[in-house]
Structure 1
Amino acid sequence: MTTTTSPPLDLTTLPGPYPTTTSPMIFSSPSYNLPQIRTLHKSLHHAIDDKSSRLRTQVGGSYRELLGTADTIVAMKSEIEAVHQTLSDMGYKCGRGVVGHKMDALGKFTSTTMGDKAASGRERLLAGCLGQLDAILRVREKAKRGERLETGARLFVLGRLLLAAAAGGQQQGSDEKEMGRRRRVLEKGHKIRLMGGIDADLRRYHKPGTGDKQQREAALVRALSAYALATSSGARDVLGYFLRVRGEAIALALEVDEEERVARNPEDVIRALGLYTQTLQDVQALVPGKLADALMRLKREKLLENEELLKMEGLRLDVYKRWCGDEIQFYTPFIRHDDLDGKAAREMLFGWADKGRKVVLEGLENTLKEMGEFKAIVELRTEVLKLWISEGGKARGFDPSEVLDEIREAVNKHMLRVLEQKVAKLRLVGSEVSAAVEAWKEGRSDQHESLWDMDSYDTDLSNGAAQFTQHVVSRLYGRNDDVSKAVASYKSWFRVIDDVGTVVDQLKRQRWDNDVDEIEDEETIEERQQLLAKDDPAALGKHLNESLVKSFKKLDENLSTLWKEQQDSPDRGHIAMYFLRVLRDIRSRLPENAEVKGFGLEAVPSLHQALVSTVVISPLDELATVALVRRTVVGRSVWEGEPALPSSPSPGAFKFLRNLVGAMGDAGVDLWSPTAVSVLKETLRKQLSEVWLETVSKLTEGLEPEVQTETEETPKPEAEEGTSDTSDPKEESLEREAAKTEAVPDIVRHRDLLVQWLYDIYYLSSFLGTDDTFKQLSDVVLSKTDLEHSATAKQRLQKTSQDYFKRTSLLFGLLSS
């Protein structure tokens, strides 16, 4: 058995620096240690893996090439079969009969004269020209629209030349009717459509920041070139046409059909102003340089040598060109490209700019006249000013501040006018109040539903409790139908005015920087910011405050006059309640203006007085006619102490308070503000003092009316009813003397009644307060009792009344305000 040993590895073939050449030398060399040998071993393995990967990649690539070759062979087979089929068809079509027919037709064609051939060729070229022009004008795509318009203009010029040649007698064999029809198609059909397409391209508005500016200018130059080519116009005429079309586009954007009565769209103003600024920039960018170069390019090129026309298969210029005369073959457009210099262009542009600015501003004013919402007006103002600030300053030679001031003036005037109209609508509140008072009907206008009348509530809470809560609040504040109408009118007005205040704040927060395309100096930015964000809102806010003061003053005068007219009305008390509720709800939502804070306050005292007068009539009348005419003291047996003094008020005094609070509640708990309660107490103190003093005076003088007491009845004998009036004067004098002598025993007999009254007075003063009038009443009653000189008894009486007041004050809560 023989063993074969592999040759030593040649390390020089591996990548990397190796000082030795074979593997035995590595192991025999003393300069290599074991770690170095392991490193070399690892490098060898990496090299082996790399070569294996390359080999696999090469094999895979060869296999893929083989598969591609197979696919190519299969495709070639299919193509060869198609070629065989085509050759078979060609062989069929080249048969004896087919070739014979073609030879006959060729013979007939060659037998015609050269003149007929030329006429026929031009006719076919004209037909192809009209067809291609119609096809171009039918395309609606915006891409390459300028190129199509220029090509269409070339076709139009070619068609016109061919028709002129036919009219000049160069086509003796042509059909005159057909030529007339084609002339009408070209002049009245295609020309109108071509010019309409050019106008539409020139009128097109491109929003700032959209599209490529260079492409837009190139399309614009081609559209102007198409016009110059179609009408043989020079540079001056082209510029005039462009400005005229743009002016008509601006006017058309701002025009409104009066018959349709469609509201003006604010977007039309933006479009018109955008066209205005765009025109200024386009003219300065195109004239005189780019436009003159474009017109010069048209003059340098022969019409039938244009590449676009040569590419059109429908024209077949390679066939029909030779049948055209020299006038057509060598035709070049005659266009003046040098009749417009920079100075003339500036004059034309400046003249157009003045007229266009007036049209835009007039359209802005007309649009603003139809806008009544502040939010919409501010949005339009913002869009217009932003557009002008960003685009208006790009045109050279124009001062953008002039147009900016004119725009501000137009918008500010309309905003002030709308503001006055909206603020003046506060008069509608007065109209609602006046209508309610004029249609006042007792039992209907003064009626309001009770808070505790559960049967009249809509207790269906399936859709939430908002409506139920609103009903409860309305009843709590006494808002019947008349009050609700006036308050709803004011709330609607206030929401509008509140929106105006929000708009003013919004104007103050706006920033008017223009650093998108260019960097402005800080002074210009600050000046513009001062005008638009400070001066304009300040003027609007000042006018708002002045208008508010004026409108509230008129409304206050109107309501005061209306109330004065009703002060003698039998329903004055209920009308006063209505006025108080309306004024309360209005004053709860007054604008933030110190000069209107006093609205309605002048009429409030008289309204409170009328309210109090109506409320106290019934309780005070019952006290005077029932409680004060009673001459017996109920509960005398439960008096305490020495001397015996009452410890509770009389039933009449207690019932008076109950009736009073009940009448106040019937009028409405919402009416009894601290001021109203103060007026009520003051009025009651005065009227109670008068009634009580009168009663005490009658009691002490013996002039009290005959009353039926609980202990005795004093019917007058029938004999006295028939007594003659003619009595002796001396007897009458004696009777008066006897009555005076019997007065002192009456005071003694009514001593307990006076003490009880004194207690009632102290008790009522705890609710109504004490003033000089009420103190005088208590002093008078005290002087008629035997307690005048007993300070202890007086203090006991006051203390017990105060204690009883503390125990019962919650029963009469309305009087505690």
Structure 2
Amino acid sequence: MSTLPDLSSLPASSSAIFSSPTYNLPQIRAIHKALHAAVDEKRDRLRVQVGSSYRDLLGTADKIVEMGGEMDAVLDTLGRMGARCGRGVVGRKVGGLGEFKGRVKEREMGEVGRRGLLEGVVLAVERGLRGGRTKQEGRDGEGKGERVLRAAKGLVLGRLLVKSFGQGIQGKGSVEAARKGLKSSRRRLLRIVERVLQSVGEKNEQREDVLRVLAAYSLATGSGAKDTLRYFLRVRGEAMKLTFELDEDERTRAAEDVLRGMRLYTKTLLDVPALVPARLTEALAGLKKQPLIKDQALRGIEGLRLDVYERWCGDEIEYFTPFIRHNDLDREQAREMLTEWAGKGAGVLLEGLEKTLAGMTEFKAIVELRTSVLKLWISEGGRVRGVDTSDLLDRIRTMINEHMLGVVEAKVNKLRLVGSEVSATIEAWREGASTSEPHDFWVPDSLDIDLTNGAAHFTQEVVSRLYGRSDIVSKAVSSYKSWYKVIDDVGQVVEQLKRQRWDNDVDEIEDEETIEQRQQLLSKEDPQALHEHLTGSLVRAFKSLDEQLSALLKSSVAAEKGPDVVMYLLRVVRDIRSNLPALEPVKAFGLDLLPQLHNMVPSSVAEPALTSWAENHKRRVVGRALWEGEPELPTSPSPDCFQFLRELSMAMSEAGMDLWYPAMVTGLKVAVNSHLRENWWKHAEELRARSSPVDVVEKEEKEADGEKMESAETDEAKSDEDAAAAEEPKLEPQEQRDVLVQWLFDITYLRCGLAVPSFESPAEGLKELEDMVFKETDLDTSSRQRITKASQEYWKRTSLLFGLLT
């Protein structure tokens, strides 16, 4: 396709273009289209130019109209300004501006004044809660309750002042600090209120403090009379619980805790009827009689200066009166609340008393607690009205009595420890342990006793040696004495209970019947029950100890432990019997055991001396050269006889001089008499066997007829002895007679030393033996009298050598 020619170079006539051979038909058509497009473009451009100029003309016209309106407004404004520029108009405006600035300054001054008053209130409240007083506050007779109530009023005033600053000013430092200080003071005030309610002081003064702090609590918390009473009872109940709770450094509860809990309980039962609802209602109503800022207690605080700052407080503070529901509690509601609390409080008190008693084992301390608790309840509980106090008294008495009976039973049963000590000592013998024997008086170590602390130790040592109290005996005896001292104290305390008086010294309006009934219950029935229980427990305990010691004796005899155990038991039983309780059934303690011990001790002590005598007596030789008179008769006992008495007395001394009281010495002499009679009779038979046959026949002919035949066993034993005696050399008749005469002197001498005043059966002693030997000697009566007199004289000269036998 050929290029389109420039339209500006085309001829002006269209016929020239169409007729020109230069352009073919497609070019002509293109030129036609280009021409039409150029024409349309120019037409549009011209149309735009004409429209823009028209809009400019319209805008100009609008501006002229607007300027005309503004000129009219300016003229109108200038007219009004001219009208307002008069003298009177300007004066009124100046006066209004002055009033506006005054109101702004007044607001600023009020804010400053309230802030200063708020700071003073915070300081006054803190000082009042700390207990400090200014000169005007230091009035005579002002108590803690008044200070707490004044602090509560200041706290309410402080909260009103903080509220008066609004929300926008809370960020300011002084107000925010005051707000925090008031919150802290409120917490401290509530703690002080609790402490005052938990305290137990003088009756009238403390009750007035309770009334004021209850009013302070109501004012600080906005509680009514009913909520205030509920709070009071709750605080007292918690205080009773805290009284019986143990601190970290405490192990047991003290009796003072019970008394404090009892005082709190009785004080509550007395305070509530005295304060509620009348006095508490009046106290709460008195807080609403006048605006708070007019209260004289607040105006009396020196640092507040309410007479100056009052004008800046505003109507909300100036006419504020606390709103407290003072009449929402009647007497019936108060009685129901108190009755319900009394039941719970009695449970807490009894539980605390039970826990306290559980840790008390000293009977005297328990009795003192009983006396204190019951006297407190009688004096305070007797004035309680509306609550049954007798039921709680019975429950307290029953609980204490049951614990005392248990303590008495436990203390009495500790007597078994004495038996355990004895059993352990005997067991030590079984195991081969060494035991210390009682010391003699006259030993060198007696000089080494320490006397620097007086003669108590020396006296104790002397007494111990006198009564044979070795270490093992002293342990058992000391155990018994410690037990007896405790039981004796219990008995004395029980007797004191019988002498107690339970009069109500505080309230003297009780009738005689009530006093007598209480006296009968507390001073007769309770001590009598304790006494009977103590008596029964003592009888059972001593019976058990008696059986235990008897069993130990039987087991010791069966185990063949020797005489030391028997003497040890005898000493223990003797010392226990010397200090028995004054009870008839207890006096029988050891009476079944003592005869066995009295038989066993003398036999065991005398056995070595009798054995030695038997051996020496068989081979003795008569000291014929010492005889005197006409006919010649002995004037002194044979050596074996004297040695026998010496060994016997030494054995008694070694066993301990404390054992040989008259009954024991009598038992020893009876046993020795019986043994000597039997063995000496055998020796006489042996002496016959050693004689010549002719002499034996003569002696047999002189014997009385009618002797009973010996048994077969006796004949056999006799034949054995005769066979043994046949081996010994035969005695001549004179030698045999001399032996018999010496025996007669020895028997007479022994009768002097072994005489038993109460012994009434001569056949069981040496009298029959003496008669038999006398018959064998063929002496006349005068010779016998000489021998008897000589033996008695010799005994008088030598009896002191055998002191324990005399």
Matches within 5 A, 1:677-692: 677-692=665-680
The Cα of 1:745 is off from its aligned counterpart by 7.4
Question: Residue 153 of structure 2 contacts residue 219 of structure 2 at CA under 8 Å; is this kept in 1?
Answer: yes
2:144 corresponding residue in structure 1: 145
Task: Please name the residue that 2:540 is paired with.
Answer: 550
With over 3 angstroms needed to count, the CA separation of the structure-2 counterparts of 1:810 and 1:499, relative to structure 1, is same
Out of 423, 445, 455, the residue aligned to residue 445 of structure 2 is 455
How far 1:750 sits from its partner (Å)?
0.3
8 Å Cα contact 2:450-2:457 kept in structure 1: no
CA positional deviation for 1:182:
3.6
Amino acid at match of 1:750: Q
- Once the two structures are TM-superposed, the CA of residue 315 in structure 1 deviates from its matched residue by 3.0
Q: 1:186 pairs with 182, 187, 190, which one?
A: 182
Amino acid at match of 2:211: V
Q: What do residues 248-270 of structure 1 show as CA deviations (whole Å, max 9, x unaligned)?
A: 1121122112x434322211211
- Residue among 281, 285, 305 paired with 2:270: 281
CA distance in 1, matches of 2:158, 2:532: 69
SS at match of 2:160: helix
How far did residue 428 of structure 1 move? 1.7
State the partner residue of 1:476: 466
Equivalent position to 1:426, from 394, 406, 415 = 415
Output the CA distance in 1 between the equivalents of 2:170 and 2:605: 112
SS in 1 for 2:738: helix
Moved more, 520-529 or 451-460: 451-460
- 2:490 counterpart (489, 500, 507): 500
Q: Is the Cα contact below 8 Å between 1:700 and 1:746 reproduced in 2?
A: no
What is the aligned partner in structure 2 of residue 198 from structure 1?
A: 193
Task: Give matches, 1:468-617, under 5 Å.
Answer: 468-617=458-607
After TM superposition, the structure 1 = structure 2 runs for residues 37-116 of structure 1, keeping only pairs within 5 Å, are 112-116=104-108
- 1:768 equivalent to 2:754? Answer yes
Are 2:739 and 1:757 equivalent residues in the alignment?
A: no
AA in 1 matched with 2:680: W
Q: What is aligned with 1:668? A: 656
Do 1:119 and 1:173's aligned partners in 2 also have CA atoms closer than 8 Å?
Answer: no
The change in CA–CA distance for 1:320 and 1:464 in structure 2 (over 3 A counts) is closer
The one-letter amino acid paired with 1:205 is V
Q: How far off its partner does 1:404 sit?
A: 2.0
* Pick aligned residue for 1:323 from 304, 312, 324: 312
Match of 1:380 in 2: 369
- 1:332 is aligned to 2:331: no
Is the Cα–Cα contact under 8 Å of residues 386 and 512 in structure 1 kept in the other structure? yes
Q: 2:226 aligns with which of 220, 236, 242?
A: 236
Paired residues for 1:332-351 under 5 Å: 332-351=321-340
State how far apart, in whole Å, the 2-side matches of 1:507 and 1:671 are.
Answer: 41
Which residue in 1 is equivalent to 2:636?
A: 648
Tell me if structure 1 keeps the 8 A contact 2:690–2:730.
Answer: no
Contact kept in structure 2, 1:608 and 1:679, CA below 8 Å? yes
Structure 1 residues 300 and 579: alpha-carbon distance in aligned structure 2, compared to 1, 3 A threshold: same
2:749 and 2:666 map into 1 onto residues whose CA distance is 17
Distance 1:339 1:173 in 2: 38
Contact 2:606-2:672 within 8 A present in 1 as well: yes
Displacement of 1:540 after TM fit? Answer: 1.3
Supply the AA of the counterpart residue of 2:777. T
| 1:130 to 1:587, Cα distance in 2 relative to 1, 3 A | same
Q: Report the equivalent of 2:10.
A: none
Return the offset for 1:799.
4.3
Aligned residue identity for 1:199:
E
Give unmatched runs, 5+ long, in structure 1.
Answer: 1-105, 705-735
Aligned to 2:25: none
Work out the number of aligned pairs and report it: 664
Query: What is the Cα deviation at residue 348 of structure 1?
Result: 0.9
1:311 aligns with 2:300: yes
**What are the Cα deviations for residues 256-287 of structure 1, in whole angstroms up to 9, with x where unaligned?**
12x43432221121111111111111111111
SS at match of 1:614: helix
Distance 1:753 1:645 in 2: 11
Instruction: Tell me how far apart the structure 1 counterparts of residues 731 and 682 of structure 2 sit (CA, whole Å).
Output: 20
Aligned to 2:61: none
Q: Following TM superposition, by how much is the alpha carbon of 1:293 offset from its aligned partner in structure 2, in angstroms?
A: 0.9
| Identity fraction in percent | 51
CA separation in 2, counterparts of 1:476 and 1:314? 86
Q: 1:196 to 1:446 in 2, by over 3 A?
A: closer
Q: Are 1:747 and 1:784, in contact at CA under 8 Å, matched by a contact in 2?
A: no
Change (3 A) 1:363 1:109: farther
Q: How many angstroms does 1:327 deviate by? A: 2.8
Shift of 1:244: 1.0
Kept after mapping to 1: 8 A contact 2:200/2:206: no
> What is the DSSP-based 3-state SS (H/G/I as helix, E as strand, rest coil) of the residue aligned with 2:165?
helix
Quote the Cα distance in structure 1 between the aligned partners of 2:482 and 2:241. Answer: 38
Answer with 333-342 or 395-404: which moved more.
395-404
Q: Distance in 1 between matches of 2:205 and 2:731?
A: 123
State the one-letter code of the partner of 2:188: R
Alpha-carbon contact 2:626-2:634 (below 8 Å) kept? no
CA contact (8 A) 1:447 1:480 kept: yes
- The structure-2 alpha-carbon separation of the partners of 1:649 and 1:383, relative to structure 1 and needing over 3 Å to count, comes to same
Counterparts of 2:794 and 2:457, CA distance in 1: 43
User: 1:146, 1:222 within 8 Å by CA — same for their partners in 2?
Assistant: yes
Opposite residue 134 of structure 1, the aligned amino acid is E
Tell me the amino acid that sits aligned with residue 678 of structure 1.
T
Using a 3 Å threshold, how does the CA distance of structure 1 residues 577 and 442 change in structure 2: closer, same or farther?
Answer: farther
**Alignment partners' CA distance in 1, 2:561 and 2:99:** 121
Q: Return the offset for 1:589.
A: 1.0
Q: Residue by residue, what CA displacement relative to the aligned partner does 1:4-41 show, whole Å, maximum 9, x if unpaired?
A: xxxxxxxxxxxxxxxxxxxxxxxxxxxxxxxxxxxxxx
Amino acid aligned to 1:649: P
Partners of 1:636 and 1:646 within 8 A in 2: no
For the structure 1 residues 588 and 221, does the alpha-carbon distance in structure 2 shift closer, same or farther, using more than 3 Å as the test?
A: same
What is residue 127 of structure 1 aligned with on the other side?
119
Could you say if the C-alpha distance between residues 186 and 236 of structure 1 is closer, same or farther in structure 2, counting changes exceeding 3 Å? same
Between the aligned partners of 1:313 and 1:447, the Cα distance in structure 2 is 89
Could you tell me how far 1:446 is from its partner in structure 2?
5.0
Give the Cα–Cα distance (whole angstroms) in 2 for the partners of residues 202 and 815 of structure 1: 82
Q: Deviations over 1:215-252 (max 9, x none)?
A: 43332221111111111111111111111111111211
Inter-CA distance 566–166: structure 2 relative to 1 (3 Å threshold): same
- Give the direction of change, closer, same or farther, for the CA distance of 1:215–1:478 in structure 2 (3 Å limit): closer
Greater displacement, 124-133 / 794-803: 794-803
Separation in 1, partners of 2:210, 2:547: 66
Shift of 1:753: 0.6
Name which of 286, 293, 307 aligns with 1:297.
286
Bigger mean CA deviation after superposition, 570-579 or 319-328: 319-328
Matched position secondary structure for 1:574: helix
1:781 offset after TM fit, Å? 2.7
5+ long unaligned stretches in structure 2: 1-97, 134-140, 693-721, 756-760
CA distance in 2 between partners of 1:745 and 1:264 (Å): 92
Amino acid at match of 1:146: G
Inter-CA distance 392–593: structure 2 relative to 1 (3 Å threshold): same
Partner residue, 1:79: none
Q: Is residue 486–residue 582 contact of structure 1 (8 Å, CA) maintained in 2?
A: yes
Residues 379-424 of structure 1: per-residue CA shift (max 9 Å, x gap): 2222111111111111112333222222211221121111122112
SS of equivalent residue, structure 1 residue 394:
coil
CA distance 1:457–1:427, shift in 2 (3 Å): farther
Question: Residue 382 of structure 2 contacts residue 507 of structure 2 at CA under 8 Å; is this kept in 1?
Answer: no
Aligned partner of 1:145: which letter? Answer: K
Q: Which amino acid aligns with 1:367?
A: T
